[in-house]
């Protein structure tokens, strides 16, 4: 999963990004002003945007309204120091999906991010089940046929994204866009290496293969 944090307080932005990377395994981009945040949010396929309200160059509410006018459907979690009823109503009417009042608990923030991403993919339960495969994003754990499977950080990221979109054929470019942050070399062939390793760990003897290759199109996680 790839997340954009738009927050002008550099220290807070770094702390939020670190929590999302370490606790949820997300790739994170940071923007320190509204205009840059709007550009990144409207031109990249993020799974979630965390958006501060008080931003230089363009305030957060205007960023949110502009994203929705451009039909950007990415879930948006607002970070704000204001908690009055009028502000809440304005945010929700403008297209916000949730909000957190500063200062906030980092654990709660990560949990809300997970919930918003699940909801955006039509997943209600905290665990994702595909046949005998169970992915638990809250603990970053994976089991198959009741057996725990040990994955590297990148293997887990790849599987979690595919599990959020079961049966969909995902192109290499889409997977790279959602697994790596803005500075990554999107032309790397490392994805094939992770797909091969993940397939080997999941498709153990006696079980139905789950990861399928569609030549010229991409990969799908499906029974």
| Cα 69 from Cα 57, distance rounded (Å) | 19
Question: Is residue 137 a contact partner of residue 128, using CB atoms and an 8 Å limit?
Answer: yes
pLDDT tens-digit map of 100-128: 999 999 999 999 999 999 999 999 899 99
pLDDT tens-digit map of 12-46: 999 999 999 999 999 999 999 999 999 999 999 99
- CATH code for the domain defined by 2-120: 3.40.50.2300
- The model carries a pTM of 0.93
Do domains 2-120 and 128-221 share one topology? The answer is no
pLDDT tops 60 at residue 187: no
Structural domain boundaries in the chain = 2-120, 128-221
Give 120: exposed, middle or buried? Use CB within 10 Å, 0-12, 13-18, 19+.
middle
CATH architecture of the domain covering 128-221? Orthogonal Bundle (1.10)
pLDDT tens-digit map of 48-72: 999 999 999 999 999 999 999 999 9
């Amino acid at each position: 999963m790839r997340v954009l944090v738009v927050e002008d307080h550099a220290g807070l932005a770094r702390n939020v990004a670190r929590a999302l990377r370490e606790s949820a395994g997300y790739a994170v981009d940071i923007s320190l002003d509204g205009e840059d945040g709007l550009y990144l949010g409207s031109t990249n396929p993020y799974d979630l945007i965390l958006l501060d309200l008080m931003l230089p160059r363009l305030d957060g509410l205007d960023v949110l309204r502009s994203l929705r006018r451009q039909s950007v459907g990415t879930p948006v979690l607002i970070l704000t120091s204001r908690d009055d009823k009028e502000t809440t109503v304005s945010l929700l009417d403008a297209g916000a999906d949730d909000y957190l009042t500063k200062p906030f608990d980092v654990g709660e923030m990560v949990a809300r991010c997970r919930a918003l991403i699940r909801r955006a993919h039509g997943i209600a339960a905290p665990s994702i089940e595909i046949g005998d495969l169970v992915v638990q994003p809250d603990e970053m754990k994976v089991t198959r046929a009741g057996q725990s499977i040990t994955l590297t950080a990148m293997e887990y990221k790849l599987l979690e994204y595919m599990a959020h979109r079961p049966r969909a054929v995902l192109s290499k470019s889409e997977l790279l866009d959602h697994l790596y942050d803005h500075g990554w070399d999107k032309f790397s062939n490392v994805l094939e290496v992770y797909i091969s390793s993940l397939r080997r760990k999941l498709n153990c003897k006696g079980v139905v293969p789950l990861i399928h290759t569609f030549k010229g199109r991409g990969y799908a996680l499906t029974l």
